[in-house]
Amino acid sequence: MATCKGACLLLIAVCLVFQSFQEFAECREGPMIIEELPTVQRSSFPSGFVFGSSTAAYQIEGAAREAGKGASIWDIFSHQPGKILGNKTGDIAVDHYHRYAEDIWLLKDLNMDAYRFSISWTRIFPNGVGVVNWEGVKYYDNLIDHVLELGIDPYVTLYHWDMPQALDNSIGGWLSPDIIDSFSKYARFCFERWGSKVKHWITFNEIHTFAISGYMTGVMAPGRCSAPVCVAGNSDTEPYIVAHHALLSHAHAVDIYRKEFKDTQQGMIGITTDSMWFEPLDSNSSSDKQAAQEAVEAYIGWYLDPIFYGHYPASMRRNLGSNLPTFTAEEAALVKGSQDFVGINHYTSMYATFGISGEIVKTYYKDGVPIGDPTPSDWLFVVPFGIRKLLNWVSERYHNPILYVTENGRAEFNKEDSMPIEDQLKDPERIRYYHDYMQNVLLAVRDGCDVRGYFAWSLLDNFEWSEGYTVRFGIYYVDYKNGLARLPKSSVFWFRQVLRKTFNL
């Protein structure tokens, strides 16, 4: 297959910085031939393949204290000095709450089919349970209606890390089994309110991330880990308790949807997991191959093995012993099969080997050479083949389930203080990243994986959790110094062209 690499993709980036499609077309009539990209265009993918972009409520909405919204753990955590680079918060973020109509039009302008966004639990239930905040409900009424009016399908995530602070205070949040009932009531309300319009529900985004970063390392909300790093927490046990209760909450929500809503609403429900891909540090070492296998099992198998088989991976049970909770027979039966599809968030890959004590050691480097090109995010190296290998691993292990790539993208440094804005809008490295990763998604489809869609992260530059606003993942540039204006990066023009729809007259 012909591919576009190196200078070709750089030329695309140069061409696409033009602000009109006509100028872009004139530019590409030069030495670059668009046919060099046959593997990354809408028509290369199966009929009905969905292209979209993803966001998360706390990262974009802002309006943190408006219209009756309650505080989430991120509203509190981000205000603690030293937790976020630059001591920034999501209080305003990129003001999607007030500018959603403009932003959805930007998505439409990219020729995308779907918008994946999350609902802020505390905008609906300020205290997590009890009294409904109808102003918050109306916001999501309007958002969903506007998405549908523009011919875009909403893919709605119920939980993207913003636990109500009131529930964290009162019961300990995900550490308590009581959270299952609270989440179930919240989910039922959402199904009742929007299920006639929303046909794709995602219960959780990346349990792995909020369990590990929130309860093992403490670098994300609610900031718990073992002493002396954190004031409270137990890094050896709490992440696994949190994940266990989240999985049970997911299973209960799916059960509610299937019993009470699915037949009439005719929608689908699933979960979004995340995982790096792990390569053996020494490709000829059977030990390193085992380490890489166990690393993937401990990352994504942690959640998908229970969902497909009713129990945690054998390697995790062996390695963690009593620190890993167990499912009762009734719980296992409820969790097993609790998906219509699986969302996969994937950004990067690592090497794996076993350490001296038998623990899995993960690294981005082999003989001093990185596994892929580095990016401004120290955890993200560009390894396009990893997404193909991960999709194949999931498809083989779980008997070819329906999959969506629900996040994929790369960061740039925020250079608003050191670079002219016209230069910041040129993002050839992002174009290269999207091209190569999307190409590998297509290769996975051709391998036989049942991948139904691809969602780019992210529509807009936004609040990137502990990294604050120091990095930019957006396809659209947000000018933080000039009224949060949205400006198209060169990747906008690339997506417009790649995802253009053709019609037979």
Q: Which residues are catalytic?
A: 407
Tokens 């050479």 locate to 369
Q: In terms of C-beta density within 10 A (0-12 exposed, 13-18 middle, 19 or more buried), how is residue 224 classed? A: buried
Nearest of 420, 284, 408, 417 to residue 347 by alpha carbon = 408
- Per the CB < 8 A criterion, the answer to whether 449 and 392 are in contact is yes
d(CA 485, CA 482): 6
| Cβ partners under 8 Å of residue 103, min gap 6 | 60, 96, 459, 460, 486
Rounded Cα gap, residues 46 and 77, in angstroms: 43
Written as six digits, the tokens of 241 are 């308790």
Q: Residue 75 in contact with residue 64, Cβ under 8 Å?
A: yes
What single letter denotes the amino acid at residue 382? V
414 backbone dihedrals φ, ψ, rounded to 5°: -80, 110
Q: Nearest-CA neighbor of 187 among 74, 269, 307, 310?
A: 269
Helix, strand, coil proportions of the chain in percent (round to 5)?
Answer: 45, 15, 40
Task: Give the contacts of 197 (CB within 8 A, at least 6 positions apart).
Answer: 144, 145, 148, 154
CB 375 within 8 A of CB 334: no
| Integer Cα distance of 211 and 224 in angstroms | 10
Question: Hey, which bits of 323-457 come out as E strands?
Answer: 341-345, 349-354, 360-363, 365-366, 369-370, 373-374, 381-382, 403-407, 412-413, 451-457
If you search the block for the tokens 């300990």, which residue do you land on? 172
3-state secondary structure of 125: coil
The residue assigned the tokens 């890993």 is 324
Residues whose CB is less than 8 angstroms from the CB of residue 392 and which lie 6 or more positions away in sequence, other chains included:
444, 447, 449
Contact 53, 458 (CB under 8 A): yes
